[in-house]
Amino acid sequence: MSQSQLTLVSHGLCPFVQRVAIMLFEKEVPFHRIDVDLKVRPDWFLAISPTGKVPLLKMQNGAAEAKVLFESVAICEYIEEAYPNPALHPEVKITRAQHRAWIEFATAMLADAWGYLNAADPQTALGKSSSLRGKLERLDDEKTRGPYFAGETFSMVDVAVAPVFRYFDILGFETIHPLFDGLGRIAEWRHALANRASVQAAVAEDYADRFLKHLVEMKAILVS
């Protein structure tokens, strides 16, 4: 598998793509990245993406037919198995299963965050922010002491959560903001992830500008 050429088919704003990129950077696996316009999906992309979404991980091994994986969690699990060092899942089976459940929880949290960020009216924003706040409180209670979800060890739960925190770092939501007020462990976690090299490298240099431009185009009340 070390001879495979990996291509990450991406979109510049997709948080699920960020998960895959973080995994590859953590494993120090070389890869090529191609961005596609999801508003005008090219035929070659639709031919290999069953859902019409990103990310995709295309694996080319010599002259053999390329293999394509879709769905971020499935891709991340494959990377963890194919490139086991450093391990991003716990060794203990029950703990590993718990981490997988928290990754699903992080996906639901991402949906709340995206709904809040893109809300064009106060009622929608309030509902999504309330739901997001509840999930953040639960994570603050669950998180162990230390910079990451599992303490000193960076794990796939951190990979899943990092794109969520990035949004609010860009918007300048401080720890006293109602969304984060009183959540000390979340504040420490946000800081640690923001300074992680793989997390920083998972997006392009102009990501913040593109994200803010997107919110303006959506007439989001957070930037109005």
Residue 1: predicted pLDDT = 42
For the record, the structure tokens of 99 come out as: 């981490």
Residue 65: predicted pLDDT = 87
For 41, other C-beta atoms within 10 Å of its C-beta total 14
- Fold observed for domain 5-82: Glutaredoxin (3.40.30)
* pLDDT digits (tens), the chain, 224 positions: 446 899 999 999 999 999 999 999 999 999 999 999 999 999 999 999 999 999 999 999 888 889 999 999 999 999 999 999 999 999 999 999 999 999 999 999 999 999 999 999 999 999 999 999 999 999 999 998 899 999 999 999 999 999 999 999 999 999 999 999 999 999 999 999 999 999 999 999 999 999 999 999 999 999 98
- Fold observed for domain 93-223: Glutathione S-transferase Yfyf (Class Pi); Chain A, domain 2 (1.20.1050)
CA distance 47 to 183: 45
Asked if domains 5-82 and 93-223 share a fold, the reply is no
For the record, the structure tokens of 9 come out as: 């088919």
Domain boundaries, the chain: 5-82, 93-223
Per residue, the 3-state secondary structure of 113-154, as one string, reads HHHHHHCCCHHHHHHHHHHHHHHHHHHHHHCCCCCECEECEC
> What is the DSSP secondary structure assignment for residue 65, as one 8-state letter?
P
